[in-house]
Structure 1
């Protein structure tokens, strides 16, 4: 019988790491046998990938969706991508992000649709776009942080302030 791997997406700021939340979350994901999916960049993405791959004995892999462009010289990933802790880079020709994160040419569609569940941390326009896509595609997602950090995010998602709440939610949606 076919066994589909369970992939947890961790989305958030490309500049801030939110280490106090991201490190224990990524470790938990690794310790529970899930694969980790991020946008392969800096900030939350790199912190999550680093913490995930540091877990000894894990069975999951660190997957990163890498934005890029096709030029006259061939394919070019965006500078700085993938971060060093991505074990399986998925290179795309989709270059858009940030305020253009919902456009058809954005890799955010792949980020949102490839994970079984999404944990969204605070972030800018790109993270907001991922949350809006998750709502559009009816993907299981939770916002991890305080209510004030997510004032402009879709109201369709629960906002959870503790790691325990997020982990319990993940166990429920990945069964």
Structure 2
């Protein structure tokens, strides 16, 4: 999870490559910024097992017709998304914790959450990860870290974040970490 504008390539690029080598799937909000950077790096790893999954918001012009396609906002999905999950959920940003936000799906579908720097949408995903008790680690300059429970760890490096992912997936019974991963 992270910014829809800033790319933060010094964290997003090596993180994407490392996660691809673990053999896991990558789930993002499917937009620009960190979401696209980490997706591009993940997708560039040859012979990877996982997919780049994007959970997409609905467009800004909701229809009152139940059978109408809600569409997606401009820039969604980014070109790196391999499996786009379109939703009818249009709330984002400051409304990211609301019931009409796809952020609930992003967090509830994730086995582990890594949060890179972002703004209100990322902050809501972090809050939801805490609420839903998902394994969560913050990576990078996270101004919100002081407002989170002391149990939320922070990583100083991508290697620390990836080690957290390994431990969290093994702690879940190992079902989420493919056998023979880490190519």
TM value normalised by structure 2: 0.85
Q: In 2, Cα distance between the equivalents of 1:67 and 1:74?
A: 12
Q: In 2, Cα distance between the equivalents of 1:150 and 1:144?
A: 12
Aligned residue pairs, count: 164
Q: Tell me the residue number matched to 1:16.
A: 6
Q: In 2, Cα distance between the equivalents of 1:64 and 1:74?
A: 17
Provide the aligned C-alpha RMSD in A: 1.4
Shift of 1:79: 1.6
Q: Tell me the residue number matched to 1:145.
A: 140
Per-residue CA distance 1:114-149 (angstroms, 9 max, x = gap): 110010011101100000001110111100024x63
Q: Which stretches of structure 1, 4 residues or more, deviate above 3 A after TM superposition?
A: 148-153
Q: Tell me the residue number matched to 2:148.
A: 154
Match of 2:109 among 101, 110, 114: 114
Q: How does 1:35-114 map to 2 (within 5 A)?
A: 35-69=25-59, 70-71=62-63, 72=65, 73-114=68-109
Q: In 1, Cα distance between the equivalents of 2:140 and 2:96?
A: 21
Q: In 2, Cα distance between the equivalents of 1:44 and 1:159?
A: 18
Match of 2:18 among 7, 25, 28: 28
Q: In 2, Cα distance between the equivalents of 1:135 and 1:77?
A: 28
Name the one with the larger strand percent.
Answer: 1
Task: Give ranges in structure 2 of 5+ residues lacking alignment.
Answer: 171-183
Q: Secondary structure at the match of 1:23?
A: helix
TM value normalised by structure 1: 0.89
Q: In 1, Cα distance between the equivalents of 2:98 and 2:25?
A: 26
Distance of aligned partners of 1:153 and 1:34 in 2 relative to their CA distance in 1, 3 Å threshold: farther
Q: Secondary structure at the match of 2:71?
A: strand
Task: Give ranges in structure 1 of 5+ residues lacking alignment.
Answer: 1-10
Shift of 1:75: 2.5
